[in-house]
Structure 1
Amino acid sequence: MTTPAAPYRLSTARVLRSEWHKLWTVRSTWTTVLTAAAILLGVGVLMGATYTSDGGDSDVDTVVLVLYGSQLGGIALAVLGILVTAGEYATGLIRATLTAVPRRLPVLWAKAAVYTGVVFTVSLLTALLTFLTAQLFLSDTDQAASLADDGVLAAVAGNAAGVTLLGLIALGLGAGLRSVPGAIGAFVGGVLVVPEVFGLLPYEAVDTAVRYFPTQAAGALGSATPLPGAASPGAALLALLLWAAAALAVPALLLDRRDV
């Protein structure tokens, strides 16, 4: 007599489905995603509607100008990344999650995968909508451009990738620190503020290193034309990927060593 197979055997697909369900059933997800999209679209339309060729912004890259709101919207999405991981420790839900998935690491990878897919898709679609809407106002100015122009589509996609990878770093900080306020403080201080402070130091080696810090690398990805003193898009993307990998590697190691 054979034993029937367990109807609810744990699998990667089911862990992913669980994390997808948890993400979208929390009200803060809708709030932060809609806030980030509204900021990006609103600032982009404002920049397009108020732009004048003699206003001093004619030398600014078109994509950077139109998607300027991604700097603020990206902070909202970074907070979402922190809530995805540290939020479960705050509510105690993580105990049930790790009981259901005792190997632990698949939980972290599923959270990262679901977050990456959602944030990149939302960021890319919103960036495309913002660019096209802003160009309705910029069509008769020196900032007129189309997605078919050299570097424009790549910069729009790069902007979305930069926002997503910065959020993934925040997600890793949340998983490592297990505290929402602590992770937000670490992200703001370590990722947003420290590079700006280092950039003030009069040392060439420091200036070169700062180019590959997360926010500076993300900025280089979102420009259709090379920014003075910035890393190349390929180097910037590699740097961001390495930062995100490092941010996730720490909590991955701690998950195997800590109690819940």
Structure 2
Amino acid sequence: MTTTTLPPASYRVTPVRVLRSEWHKLWTLRSTWTTLAATSVLTVAMGAGLGAAYDGDGEGRLDTVVFVLLGTQFATVNLGVLGILATAGEYSTGQIRASMTAVPRRLPVLWSKAAVLTAVTLPLTLWTNLLTFPLAQSFLTGTDQAASLGDPGVLRALAGNAAGLTLLTVLALGIGALARSVPMATGAFIGLVMIVPEVLAMLPYDTADDAVRYFPGRALEALTTAQPLPGSASPGAALLAMALWASAALAAAAVLLRRRDV
């Protein structure tokens, strides 16, 4: 009669231990600190700079929150790169083999990466937005861009922008896991978020215009507006669209991870 010896409890793989491993892995990378710091600093600096330089002429007036958070254009790229490095970066260094050897079921690694990035990105972007808006508004008093946190739609737009940027980061993580190459994943992410919607918008078809509203970049714009613009998706529909984009990327990455060798 043979008996099966279970590994000691200290060596068992548990969801909490996988999460802890991915958390430590993320924070030990210098690129994480650099990217997150650059995201906050650029957003705050650009918001304050735009507020200080605004002359109040009101020409081509943007939504107040969109105007103040124009710096999130840099955040889109920065956080996208962070998400890509979390997966494709491990393939480029070969570290992914160690991760999958330690966690043979593989998928907990992917889910843990997504959870850790969400836990880091959402508070950071929300805190940055809540700092940037009042700072910029201190320069905009008396202009047509003056607003307060209590105005209709402002807090919702600030939180919506943070949620949208977080989902973009998770989307980038999924693309990185699919491409397994940092340059390829970066090109695919920028193409999906910035280039493809502009190309589709030039097509003379109403269906193309309707589809463009729900692409990640346009959905993020809809989430960032305090007052929804005509022809754009509603905040609820935009948030759902971004969640579906991120979920689809993660689902495709999970299927590929199970079927293909590391």
TM-score between the two structures when normalised by the length of structure 1: 0.96
Judging changes above 3 Å, is the alpha-carbon distance between structure 1 residues 13 and 4 closer, same or farther for their aligned structure 2 residues? Answer: closer
Offset of 1:218 from its aligned partner?
0.8
Offset of 1:162 from its aligned partner?
1.1
Quote the sequence identity (%).
62
Partners in 1 of 2:259 and 2:227 — Cα distance? 46
Offset of 1:251 from its aligned partner?
0.9
**Alignment check: 8 A CA contact 2:222 2:233 kept:** yes
Offset of 1:191 from its aligned partner?
2.5
Supply the AA of the counterpart residue of 1:82: I
Offset of 1:171 from its aligned partner?
0.7
Q: 1:132 aligns with which of 131, 134, 140?
A: 134
Offset of 1:55 from its aligned partner?
4.9
- Residue 171 (structure 2) aligns with: 169
1:1-260 correspondence to structure 2 within 5 Å: 5-57=8-60, 59-260=61-262
Partners in 1 of 2:7 and 2:41 — Cα distance? 51
Offset of 1:4 from its aligned partner?
9.0
1:24-51: CA deviation from partner (whole Å, max 9, x where unpaired): 0000001111111111111101111011
Offset of 1:205 from its aligned partner?
1.1
> How many residues are paired up?
258
Two-structure CA RMSD over aligned residues (Å): 1.4
Partners in 2 of 1:4 and 1:10 — Cα distance? 10
Offset of 1:3 from its aligned partner?
8.2
Partners in 1 of 2:66 and 2:9 — Cα distance? 53
Q: The residue matched to 1:183 in structure 2 has which SS?
A: helix
Partners in 2 of 1:6 and 1:158 — Cα distance? 42
Supply the AA of the counterpart residue of 1:185: G
Supply the AA of the counterpart residue of 1:74: T
Offset of 1:54 from its aligned partner?
1.0
Partners in 2 of 1:66 and 1:173 — Cα distance? 29
Partners in 1 of 2:7 and 2:69 — Cα distance? 56
Q: The residue matched to 1:149 in structure 2 has which SS?
A: coil
Q: The residue matched to 2:203 in structure 1 has which SS?
A: coil
Give the unaligned 5+ runs of structure 2: none
Partners in 1 of 2:218 and 2:156 — Cα distance? 17
